[in-house]
Amino acid sequence: MAICLSKKNRIFGLHTNNTSYVFGVDGLGLIRHIYWGEKINDLDEFSLPVLCEVSTNDSVYEITPEEFPVYGGLRYKEHCLKVNFSDGTRELIYKYIGYEIKEEELIINLADTHYSFQINLHYKLYEEEDLIERWVSLKNSSEDIIEVEKIHSAQFHIPYENLNFSNVHGHWGAEQQRFTQRVSYGKMLVENRRGISTHNHNPYFILDKDATETNGEVFFGALRLSGNFSGVVEQTQYGETLVQMGINSHDFMLKLKPKKEFTAPSIISGYTNKGFEAMSHNLHNFAKKNLLRPGLRPVLYNSWEATEFKVNCEEQIRLAKIAKKIGAELFVVDDGWFGERNSIDKGLGDWYVDKDKFPKGLKPLIDEVKAMGMMFGIWVEPEMVNPLSQLYKDHVDWIYHFDTRETDTSRGQYVLNVTKPEVKEFIYNMLDSLLSTYDIDYIKWDANRPIAQSGTDKAIWYKHIEVIYDIVKELKKKHPKVLFEACASGGGRIDYGILGIFDDFWTSDNTDAYDRLKIQDSYSYIYPIKAMRAWVTDCPNFLSRRNIPIKFRYHSAMMGSLGIGCNILKFSKEDIKLSKELIEEYKKIRPIIQEGDFYRISSNSENNYHCFQYVKQEEAVLFVFLPQSKLGHRGIRVRLRGLQKDKVYSFNYNGQQLKMTGNYLMKYGIDLRLVGDYDSAIIHFSVL
């Protein structure tokens, strides 16, 4: 059984295919962590030794490895929960009440010893993926409001010191820059305080014991929350490393009303002793199986770089015809189709079709796109409003603001207070009307600025994103075929909270094909390839000013869900021909890329090769990139991963059709040599 209980010792065991997670109730009634690691079947072997305080400055409460530490008493460590009761008491004392088991979910019931306040710890198992989803729910059974000042969803105990911590840093145009640093004494914090999105850090943790791609112990967790989060990593004085993650307590206060419940966002967590590759596969498989909409993502064309705000029906039809010619399956009109939207300063909030640009509405364009056999998509930014819009003039009180302060604009925008029922209703009705009026298949939902002047409700930071989730969920119920893309001024909204509610991630506004290799590599550690939108765009790139050959640009973008953002009106005959060939090639290998297992392949060459591989059943695809040749022009031997060792694979390289066993390809590999700057190759392997 996956969930086990030793009633004699009051110890609980959670077992996946390869791991065990064990905790128990000790003599003081505290929920104490015991073990997280490789699978141990016999729960009766575990016990809860009596803990003694080190001194009067190191009480039992301080040294006990609690599953869910709360604020109060002689606890000075990081706590997951802090509340204020109506009579002024500002500490919790919990007692163990009991447990429930619902299919693959264990619930530990705790309650305050004096107040009618319950804490429920939830553990849900995904056995095949070796993952545990953890969260906490609170219930106020009293007659008074209880203020929740801090709530982290879970605490994790790792029985090692001097671990390596990994996350990403970055900013707009440079998101997903992976970093690793050694954990020592003191605390490490990753967080977001902006409300809407962050390009700086991401809501997950990876802690490893000098692991590699294929070996070593890795502990990890991804928070299912967009918006304000915080994560704390601490190496304690008692020989372990702690991790907490949840809603950021910065400027946060949730007023839990009488008889109401609150459920915190969950954390998808796991352990492996097989390195980062196994971690990524487990998370990717979880997402593909439990969150992502089934079916392949279409090849899209987006008209932004071709037209920017100068959108008109005739030119969009011209673009659509060329997009169809090269093989696009989805045509997306970006910003500029609505209101008086001729710059970033106007129109946002006035969601009516611009009659000067589309005299007969969007229908003539959509009809043309549909007649070509393509899907149709459109860009929106529903959370924002321009001060110059009619919407703002009519509803000045709909934005986040303080009456006595001037409200900050950013990118010429205010943020709508979506937690107001009338604002939520407006956004839903606007999008519902758009989707009901027009045959739209794809919504690109953008969000280009953070929240400021957030008002008096300190829970607004969390409530805002919950409203966005609710709107999209309701829209998808009524319009189930529509795909939604999460965009936040680039890759600001990449997280497991929005994944599954939205179908695609816009990874970065930086579409430089060389920069994207690093961005996409960092993304792949936690997030599934299927949801990663990657575009081919014009050169010189608007950010890097680099000129990169079109084949390299396509190959870089073909590593995810392929999109094209070039001004294809300026394409030469050769560009059209090559685009058509490469998109056709992508469609053949797309099931392997979007639905297969992803491998980061290490390089043994003095040259700076970048190698990535995908495997699905009896097929594999290898991407090889050489951004710049170094002196000596050395090649590379690539040892493939994940093949069936006894099967013979056929593949074409340099015009030769070759046959090799999976065993040979994984142990010896293949010798490859790219030449010059920005050379790249894709090799497709199939079992004979």
Residue 408 is part of a domain; what is its CATH number?
A: 3.20.20.70
Kindly write down the DSSP assignment for every residue of 528-575, as one continuous string. Answer: -GGGEEEEE--SS-TTT-----HHHHHHHHTTSEEEE-S-GGG--HHH
CATH at residue 653: 2.60.40.1180
In terms of domains, do 585 and 639 share one? no
Closest CA to 136 of 189, 181, 198, 92: 92
In terms of domains, do 564 and 616 share one? no
In terms of domains, do 277 and 320 share one? no
Residue 321's identity, in one-letter code, is K
The reply to whether 441 sits in an annotated binding site is no
The reply to whether 102 sits in an annotated binding site is no
Q: What is the pLDDT of residue 631?
A: 76
The contacts of residue 130 (CB under 8 Å, 6+ apart) are 16, 17, 18, 19, 270, 271, 272, 282
- Walk along the chain (688 residues) in steps of 10 and give the mean pLDDT of each run: 85 97 93 97 89 83 92 93 97 96 95 97 98 98 98 97 96 94 95 91 97 98 97 94 97 97 98 98 98 97 96 97 98 97 95 97 98 98 97 98 95 97 98 98 97 95 97 98 96 95 96 97 98 97 95 98 97 97 98 98 88 98 94 88 98 95 97 94 98
Residue 607 · residue 629 · CB < 8 Å: yes
- Does 294 fall in a domain? no
Q: What is the pLDDT of residue 356?
A: 96
From edge to edge, which strands make up the β-sheet containing 597-601?
597-601, 610-616, 619-626, 679-687, 648-653, 656-661
The reply to whether 444 sits in an annotated binding site is yes
In terms of domains, do 227 and 333 share one? no
Q: CA 527, 529, 532, 534 torsion: positive or negative?
A: positive
In terms of domains, do 536 and 607 share one? no
Q: What is the pLDDT of residue 196?
A: 86
In terms of domains, do 578 and 612 share one? no
Number of domains in the chain: 3
Closest CA to 80 of 161, 167, 149, 166: 149
Q: What is the pLDDT of residue 159?
A: 94
In terms of domains, do 338 and 258 share one? no
The reply to whether 351 sits in an annotated binding site is no
Between the two ends of the chain, the Cα-to-Cα distance in Å is 40
Local structure of residue 400 (DSSP, 8 states): S
Q: Which domain holds residue 604?
A: 599-687
The reply to whether 411 sits in an annotated binding site is yes
Q: What is the pLDDT of residue 667?
A: 97
CA distance 409 to 400: 11
In terms of domains, do 630 and 683 share one? yes
Q: What is the pLDDT of residue 246?
A: 98
CA distance 323 to 374: 9
Q: What is the pLDDT of residue 9?
A: 78
Q: What is the pLDDT of residue 505?
A: 96
The reply to whether 408 sits in an annotated binding site is no
The contacts of residue 630 (CB under 8 Å, 6+ apart) are 606, 607, 608
The residues facing 146 across adjacent strands are 256
Residue reference for tokens 């593909």 = 288
Write down which residue in 545, 566, 595 finishes a domain: 595
Write down which residue in 532, 561, 595 finishes a domain: 595
- Does 142 fall in a domain? yes
Active site members: 446, 509
In terms of domains, do 361 and 466 share one? yes
- Virtual torsion, Cα 78, 271, 593, 677, nearest 10 deg: 70
- Does 295 fall in a domain? no
In terms of domains, do 555 and 668 share one? no
The reply to whether 334 sits in an annotated binding site is yes
Q: What is the pLDDT of residue 312?
A: 96
The reply to whether 509 sits in an annotated binding site is yes
Burial environment of residue 688 by CB neighbours within 10 A (0 to 12, 13 to 18, 19 or more): exposed
The reply to whether 447 sits in an annotated binding site is yes
- Global pTM reads 0.97
- Does 380 fall in a domain? yes
Burial environment of residue 8 by CB neighbours within 10 A (0 to 12, 13 to 18, 19 or more): exposed
CATH at residue 78: 2.70.98.60
Buried b (16+ CB within 10 A) or exposed e, 149-161: ebbbbbbbbbeee
Phi and psi (nearest 5°) for 393? -60, -35
In terms of domains, do 305 and 430 share one? yes
Residue 168 · residue 175 · CB < 8 Å: yes
In terms of domains, do 209 and 357 share one? no
Q: What is the pLDDT of residue 545?
A: 95
Write down which residue in 548, 580, 595 finishes a domain: 595
The reply to whether 446 sits in an annotated binding site is yes
Residue 405 · residue 340 · CB < 8 Å: no
